[in-house]
A and B are shown apart, each in its own frame.
Chain A
Amino acid sequence: MKIRVERDSFADAVAWASRILPQKAALPVLAGLRIVADGAQGVQLSGFDYEVSAQANIEVTVAETGSVLVPGRLLAEITRSLPPAPIDLATDGARVVLTCGSSRFTLPTLPLEEYPTLPEMPTASGSVGSDAFAAAVGAVATAAGRDDALPVLTGIRIEIDGEQVTLAATDRYRLAVRTLRWQPVEPAMQTTALVPARTLAEAAKSLTSGAQISIALAGAGTGEGLIGLAGADRSTTSRLLDGEFPKYRSLLPDSSSATARVDSAALTDAVRRVALVASRTSPIRLSFAADGLELEAGGVDEAEARESLPAEFEGEALTIAFNATYLLDGLGSLDSDEAQLSFTGPTKPAVLTGKPDGDGGSDHRYLLMPVRLAS
């Protein structure tokens, strides 16, 4: 194999495809990045760790076709630090030689014949605007669990009902639900899938170079399930998670006893300030009344903070306590200059929503469980 590539696009592609490579691979070959140059034009770079695969295509000049498996993270580090000059990559026996300007690197190769077969990209199920999708996934992913002991909760549940996609994630303390529109291939499509939240968030964020992302779902619920996401020149697959996602719809209260409307930037700043005196386990208290909102944290024997904010409040006055980080995550996920908080009681879930956006296309709800205060 012998190719000449443009430095920036190659470095980006290598970084993208090797980002999923494990720090410590279970099998040595899985630390490898596969480079395939099998036509006159174009090279595919692939990484795989049995859970996730990532593939990047770049336009290059192929002088000699062939394929090679190289240490991925090392190649990424090298390409990142190369000078802005064309890169030549050529195999030399069991090694591969990279030259760029006056720099020259010789890398060992890994046995290509031991490399696993990459999962095939499933047939596309539909497509969605890439920025809207990345924003939606990012907003929902904040509520996903990080505890590998509860794998179901580390996922984002995707529910497809015709033109509507609902994303949901929960770590048991909060639940984020967002709906958005997409263009399914089958207009009456109905399916669900559970995708690892971190993988999905990273993939969605990195696939925004094109206007649309194509989403492919295969075998959801069979244990062999796979999701594929493809943007311009980049595609990725991930295994789906097994298990039963909590039945969350019934958790979203359909009525409330009180509602507050607050400027979300002002509330975010106030929560950040007041939370400075709250320890990791102690909550921040919010008291809502007709004349506004008062935030408090800390206590008698420790530092204490208070701040008041104007708020439009309707309903019965109440004091409710939250973990400050969870509240900030929720406010951050609203993507709206006004936050609406609905309550049914100090030990009942509160629901945060943004200002309705008018066209009814996107809808975000963040359900937050309160902290029961010490008696």
Chain B
Amino acid sequence: MSRKQLVRSKELPELPGDDSGCTILHADMDAFFASVELRRQPELRGRPVAVGHPGGRGVVLAATYEARTFGIYSAMPMSRAMRQCGGLVVVPPDHASYSEASKQVMAILRSITPEVQPLSLDEAFLDVAGAQRRLGTPRQIAKQIRSQIADELDLPCSVGVASTKFVAKLASSQAKPNGLLVVPRESVIAFLHPLPIGALWGVGERTEEALARIGMRTIADIAHTDVSTLVNAVGKAAGAHLHALAWGRDARPVVTDEPDRSIGSEETFARDIADRGAIVRELLRLSERCAERLRAGGLVARTASIKIRFADFTTITRSRTLPEPTDVAQVIYDTSCRLYDALGIDGSPLRLVGVRMEGLAAARSTPQQLTIAGEQEEWRAAEQAVDQVTARFGRGAVRPAALVDRSGSGGSPNT
């Protein structure tokens, strides 16, 4: 899902020029979670559907285009979405299926070219420069991707084609839903300039406000403003960057397997929780999840941090650098508990807790300081055994005793 739902004002025009040199593709699944659900329950097709936990604290994780006509968008509180659209069908999320579908999508993209940079579960950049001799022009390749994903996976996907990542990403969001848009080099300026400034990559609400204050409405406004004026409004780096983008300049290459900078998991409670026992149990579950992901990615992490959101939405994070890099849940859990206990907030109702591991490095190339008792090695061996059972019998087949009394579904991880 694209974070910004740009309003489409008209049918997609064929932009003048050809696709030569437009080797950057942005493939973006349409309403990804919702589409996966529709594939499983085809009887819901044509109805407004939102994925997310109903009521309470749930938010909309994905909405079909039918639901979007009711003004429903991602991250909107589910309770509000349900008020806004009486006939809304709410489907609880099934993250395992989404991640499975995501793997299949990425596998198709990688069969086109190894130059794939996934941005999240449901979108990726491709550089098809090297695939043209084999598969044809960028437009033909984009068509092939769309039809292959539709035929093999029965999922809709939009693709933007351009000479830079940022224009390709804009193009795919303009092509949605289920469309294809090529922005030839000579049409970049004409394509960009009428768009609202919010469409620029890196312009969030705050930057948008700052720019609106100096009269900026469209990308053309930014393009025709002196860099120094922009720098005054939004800061040095951002000002120069936005000006370059407004002229379609974006030198960032497609980076395959961009190493993750951190791995984390968090949980918003259905009701605020103040009890230490329940909170550390959640920290254990999140630590298990982080460690599992570290090991699956062949990574170790040097710094552990926790995130705490109080009932009034005040949010704090605390971190601690470990004596040695780890991929062991027990170590992450112990550290998380210490960080929590050090806050002295036992008894304060919390809305959300999160665990995040930073300072990632490949386990294979990280020297490992051995310990006299070998606890870390023993825990790792035990957890790797669990990984194997999980791979065979599914999540929850083996888990810490403290987590056994909970239902296996857990909550939604946000990464």
Residues of A whose CB lies within 8 Å of any CB of B are 147, 149, 170, 172-175, 246, 248, 251, 281-283, 321, 323, 347, 349, 367, 369-375
Binary contact readout B348-385 vs A (1 if CB under 8 angstroms, 0 otherwise): 00000000000000001111111111010000000000
* Additional pairs, 14, CB under 8 Å, beyond known A347-B370, A369-B372: A149-B338, A170-B372, A172-B371, A172-B373, A173-B372, A246-B372, A281-B366, A281-B367, A283-B369, A369-B370, A371-B370, A372-B370, A373-B367, A374-B365
Cβ–Cβ < 8 Å partners of A369 in chain B: 369-372
Q: Which residues on A sit within 8 Å (CB–CB) of B325? A: 281
Q: Is B347 an interface residue (CB 8 A)?
A: no
Q: Are B368 and A371 in contact (CB under 8 A)?
A: yes
Question: Which residues of chain A have C-beta atoms less than 8 A from B372's C-beta?
Answer: 170, 172-175, 246, 248, 251, 349, 367, 369
Q: Taking the complex as formed, is B215 at the interface, i.e. its CB lies under 8 A from any CB of chain A?
A: no
**B369 and A282 contacting across the interface, CB-CB below 8 Å:** no
CA A367 to CA B334, docked complex, whole Å: 26
CB-defined contacts of A349 to chain B, threshold 8 Å: 372
Contact of B368 with A372 in the complex, beta carbons under 8 Å: yes
Q: Which residues of A contact B375 (CB under 8 A)?
A: 172
In angstroms, Cα B334 to Cα A149, docked, is 9
Which one of A174, A246, A282 lies within 8 Å of B367 (CB-CB)?
A282
| Nearest CB in chain B: distance from A61 CB, A | 50
> What are 19 A-B pairs at a CB distance below 8 A?
A149-B338, A170-B372, A172-B371, A173-B369, A173-B370, A174-B372, A246-B372, A281-B325, A281-B366, A281-B367, A282-B367, A323-B369, A369-B370, A371-B367, A371-B370, A372-B369, A373-B367, A374-B364, A375-B364
Given the complex of chains A and B, what is the CA–CA distance between A248 and B369 in angstroms?
Answer: 18
Say if the beta carbon of B42 comes within 8 Å of chain A.
no
CB of A31, distance to nearest CB on chain B (Å): 23
Chain B residues with Cβ below 8 Å from A248 are 372
Q: Is B410 an interface residue (CB 8 A)?
A: no
In the complex, what residues of B have CB within 8 A of residue A147's CB?
A: 323
Closest 6 pairs between A and B when the two form their complex, measured CB to CB: A172-B371, A369-B370, A374-B365, A372-B368, A371-B367, A371-B369
In whole Å, how far is A261's beta carbon from the nearest beta carbon of chain B? 24
- Determine the residue in chain B with the shortest Cβ distance to A370: B370
Distance (whole angstroms) from the CB of B332 to the closest CB of chain A:
13
In the assembled complex, the CB of B359 is this many whole angstroms from the nearest CB of chain A, namely 10
Q: For A172, what are the chain B residues with a Cβ–Cβ distance below 8 Å?
A: 371-373, 375
Tell me the smallest distance from the CB of B333 to a CB of chain A, in Å: 13
Interface core residue of B325, B364, B369 (most chain A CB under 10 Å): B369
Q: Judge whether B371 and A173 touch: CB under 8 Å.
A: yes
- Chain B residues with CB under 8 Å of A375's CB are 364
* Complex CA–CA separation, A65 to B372 (angstroms): 56
Residues 220-247 (chain B) with a chain A CB within 8 angstroms: none
User: Which residues of A lie under 8 Å from residue B371 when comparing CB positions?
Assistant: 172-173, 369
A-B contact count (CB 8 A): 48
Output the least CB separation between A304 and chain B (Å).
Answer: 15
Query: Closest residue to B361 on the A side, CB-wise?
Result: A281
Name the prevailing secondary structure of the A interface residues: loop
Question: How far is A147 from B372 in the complex, measured between Cα atoms in Å?
Answer: 16
Is A374's CB under 8 angstroms from B369's CB?
Answer: no
In this complex, how many residues of chain B approach chain A with their Cβ under 8 Å: the count is 15
Please report the C-alpha to C-alpha distance between residue A149 and residue B336 in the assembled complex, in whole angstroms.
12
Measuring CB to CB, which residues of chain B are less than 8 angstroms from any residue of chain A?
Answer: 323, 325, 334, 338, 364-373, 375
Q: Complex Cα distance A263/B122, Å?
A: 62
Contacting residues, chain B, for A170 (C-beta < 8 A): 372
Q: CA A168 – CA B375 in complex, angstroms?
A: 20
| Residue in chain B with minimal CB distance to A283 | B367
Q: B377 — nearest CB in chain A belongs to which residue?
A: A372
Residues of A within 8 A of B338 (CB): 149
Q: Nearest residue in B to A373 (C-beta to C-beta)?
A: B367
CB proximity of B250 to chain A, nearest CB, Å: 29
- Complex CA gap A147/B320 in Å reads 12
Known: A147-B323, A149-B338. A372 touches B373 (CB 8 A): no
In the bound complex, what is the Cα–Cα distance between A370 and B372 (angstroms)? Answer: 10
Chain B residues within an 8 Å CB radius of A282: 367
Residues of B within 8 Å of A323, CB to CB, are: 369
Give the distance to chain B from A161, nearest Cβ to Cβ, in Å.
Answer: 22
> How far is A371 from B338 in the complex, measured between Cα atoms in Å?
27
Nearest opposing residue in chain B for A282, CB measure: B367
> Smallest distance from the beta carbon of B298 to chain A beta carbons, Å?
11
B362 to chain A: closest residue by CB: A374
Chain B residues lying within 8 Å of A347, measured Cβ to Cβ, are 370
A370 to B369 alpha-carbon distance, docked (Å): 6
User: What residues of A have a CB within 8 angstroms of the CB of B323 in the complex?
Assistant: 147
Between B334, B364, B371, the greatest number of chain A beta carbons within 10 A of the residue's beta carbon is seen for: B371
CA distance A147 to B331 in the complex (A): 14
- Asked whether, in the complex, the Cβ of A246 is within 8 Å of the Cβ of B373, the reply is yes
Q: In the complex, what's the smallest C-beta–C-beta distance from A273 to chain B, in angstroms? A: 20
CB proximity of B390 to chain A, nearest CB, Å: 25
How far apart are the CA atoms of A217 and B325 in the complex, in Å? 39
Compute how far the CA of A323 lies from the CA of B323 in the bound complex, rounded to whole angstroms: 12
Given contacts A147-B323, A149-B338, contact A374 B373 (CB under 8 A): no
Which residues does chain A contribute within 8 Å of B367, judged by CB atoms? 281-283, 321, 371-374
**Distance, CA A251 to CA B93, complexed state (A):** 51
A361 to B404, CA, bound (A): 56
Question: Is the pair A374, B370 in contact by a Cβ cutoff of 8 Å?
Answer: no
CB distance from B304 to the nearest CB of A (A): 12
User: A residues within 8 A CB of B368?
Assistant: 371-372
In the bound complex, residues from chain A placing their C-beta under 8 Å from that of B366 are 281, 374
Among B366, B367, B371, B373, the one with the most A-chain Cβ atoms within 10 Å of its Cβ is B367
Q: What is the chain B residue whose CB lies nearest that of A326?
A: B369
> What chain B residues lie within 8 Å of A281 (beta carbons)?
325, 366-367
Q: Which chain B residues border A372 with CB–CB below 8 Å?
A: 367-370
Docked pose: A47 CA to B8 CA in angstroms? 76
Rounded to whole angstroms, the CA-CA distance of A371 and B323 in the bound complex is 13
Chain A minimum-CB-distance residue to B364 = A375
Nearest CB in chain A to that of B335: its residue: A149
Chain A nearest CB: distance from B377 CB in Å? Answer: 9
List, in ascending order, chain B residues with CB within 8 A of A283's CB: 367, 369
Q: Complex Cα distance A163/B323, Å?
A: 38
- Distance (whole angstroms) from the CB of A40 to the closest CB of chain B: 51
Bound CA–CA A281/B365 (angstroms) = 12
Query: B149 → chain A, closest Cβ, in Å?
Result: 38
Question: Which residue of chain A lies nearest to B302 when distances are taken between CB atoms in the complex?
Answer: A281
**Which residues of chain A are near B365, meaning CB under 8 Å?**
374
By beta carbon, the residue of chain B nearest A349 is: B372
Docked CA distance A249–B369 (Å): 21
A282 to B323, CA, bound (A): 13
CB proximity of A158 to chain B, nearest CB, Å: 19
CB distance from A59 to the nearest CB of B (A): 47
| Distance from B330 Cβ to chain A, minimum over Cβ atoms (Å) | 13
B375's nearest neighbour on chain A, judged by CB, is A172
